[in-house]
Amino acid sequence: MKVMVINCGSSSLKFKLFDMEKSNTVLAEGVIEEIGKEKSKFKYKSKNMKKDEEIVKDVEAKDHTRAVEQVTKMLIDPKAGIFKDKIEVDAVGHRVVHGGEKFSKSALITKGVKEVIKDCFEIAPLHNPPNYSGIEACEAILPNVPQVAVFDTAFHQTMSKQAYIYGLPYELYERYHIRKYGFHGTSHEYVSQRGAEFLKKDIKKMKIVTCHLGNGASAAAVKNGISIDTSMGLTPLEGLVMGTRTGDMDPAVVTFLMRKEHMNADEMDNLLNKKSGLKGISGISNDLREVMQAASTGNNRAQFAIDIFCYRITKYIGSYAAAMGGLDTVIFTGGIGENSVEVRAKVLEPLAFLGIKVDPARNKSKEKEKVISTAGSKIKCIVVPTNEELMIAMKTKYVVSESNNMYR
C-alpha cells in the first residue's frame, strides 16, 4: 500500500509518500510554500534522485488544490517521479490538528467527519481551516482515493475529567466545549510506543513522561500506553514555554495588559502566541540555538530564557510523576529534545531526588535513538526521534484496511 501523508498550513503543504509494503520506505517528499502568492516555492526529492539532490523551483499554486496538482504532476515526472503516468496512491492521510471531543482515533473522511472538522474551526482557527482545504484539495485531485484524518488531539482523549476540565463555571464547558484537549498527540503516541520497544518493555506497564520540545513544546503523562494528562490545552498556548508562546501564566495578566496597553483580543492573541516565549524573554530569537549562542556571549536575558524554559519542563515532569503515581521513563523528542545536550541535562539534573542520573557521555553521544541515563538510574531517560508522518501513514493504512474488511 502506498500512502501519501499531507500536512497543510495556511500557506504551505508538506507531503511524504510511503511504501508501507517495503519497510515503510519514503518514496518522495517535499513542501510547497507561499501558496496563494504569484509564485510558490516547491522543494522536492524522491528515491529516484541522487542522495543529496533536491529540486527547488517556483510553481504556480494559487490555492491548496493547485498545490496538490503540482505535487501529483511531480510524482509522474519522467525523471524525478515515482509513478509512470498514473498516480497510484492507495490512501491519503491528513494531519488534522483539532478533532474536538468527537475523535479519539483516526477516521476515514466522510461528509460527517468533514462537518466535525469544520465545527472545530472556532477553537482551532489557525490550523483546522488549512487542514480542511488540504482534504478538499485531495478529494478534487485524487477523487477515488480513500482519505483519512489523523488528529493531533486524539491520543489525549483518554484524559479523565479531572485532568481536562478547567476551574471555570461548568456551563462554559457545556456551552462552548472549553476544556483541555492537548496537541502533538501523534508524536507523543509514536515516541512512547517506539521508546517502549527500544527499551524492550511492555508499554502497558510503564509510566512515561514524553517531552516534545520543538518550536511548539508539550509534555504528556503516558500511563500504561494511555495519555492521562498533557500540557497544552484548549489551544497549543498552555503549558511549557515555547519558541514564541507564553505557556502557563496567571490569566489575569491578559485582562491587566488589555486594559493597560489598550489591546484588543487579536492583538493579545498575537502577543501571547507570536511574541512571547524564548523570543519574548530573550529579545533575541525563537530559535533555541540562537538564544544559546547569545547566552554563551554573556547575554543575561538569553540565559534567563533558557533557565525558564528548562525549569518549566522539570516542573511538568515532577507533576506528572505525581499524577501517575510514579515514573519509570522520560522521553525527549522534537528539534530541541533530540539535539540539545544542554537542555536535557538542565531539565533532568534537579530530578536527581526521584532517582534520575544522567550519564554525560551517553547524553553527548551522536546516536539518534539512545539512553542518556546511567545504568544505575532508577528512571530511564531516553531520546527518540519523532516521526509524525510515519505514524500518520501507519494509522491511515490501518483505517483503510479496517474499512475494506468491513465491506468485504
350-373 burial code (b ≥16 CB/10 A, e <16): ebeebebbbbeebbeeeeeebbbb
Q: Is 385 buried (19+), middle (13-18) or exposed (0-12) by CB count in 10 A?
A: middle
User: What is the spatial distance between Cα 270 and Cα 266, in angstroms, rounded to a whole number?
Assistant: 6
Taking the complex as a whole, how short is the minimal distance between the CB of residue 29 and ligand ADP, in angstroms?
15
Cβ distance to ligand ADP smaller for residue 164 or 332:
332
**Catalytic status, residue 152:** yes
Identified binder of ligand ADP from the candidate list 182, 195, 233, 243, rule CB under 6 A: 243
Of 152, 202, 266, 269, which is the active-site residue? 152
Sequence-separated (6 or more) residues with CB below 8 Å from residue 189? 155, 227, 391
Contact range with ligand ADP by CB under 6 A, out of 71-79, 97-105, 148-156, 212-220: 212-220
**Which residue of 287, 293, 311, 365 would you call a contact of ligand ADP, by CB under 6 A?**
287
Q: Taking CA 139 as the corner, what is the angle to CA 135 and CA 142, rounded to the nearest 5 degrees?
A: 125
Cβ proximity to ligand ADP: between 205 and 289 the closer is 289
Order of strands across the sheet that contains 226-230: 226-230, 217-223, 207-213, 329-333, 380-383, 370-371
The distance of closest approach from Cβ of residue 291 to ligand ADP in the complex, given in angstroms and rounded to an integer, is 8
- If binding means CB under 6 A, how many residues of this protein chain bind ligand ADP? 12
Instruction: Write the secondary structure of 313-364 as one string of H (helix), E (strand) and C (coil).
Output: HHHHHHHHHHHHCCCCEEEEEHHHHHHCHHHHHHHHHHHHHHCCCECHHHHH
Q: Please identify, using beta-carbon distances, which residue of 26 and 258 lies nearer to ligand ADP.
A: 26
Cell of 144: 477515488
Write the interaction track for ligand ADP spanning residues 369-398; mark x where CB under 6 A is met and - where it is not: ------------------------------
Nearer to ligand ADP, 189 or 397 (CB): 189
Site string for ligand ADP, 337-366 (x = CB under 6 A): --xx--------------------------
193 binds ligand ADP (CB under 6 A): no
SS3 at position 87: coil
Which residue ranges make up the site for ligand ADP (CB under 6 A)? 214-216, 243, 287-289, 334-336, 339-340
Catalytically annotated residues: 152
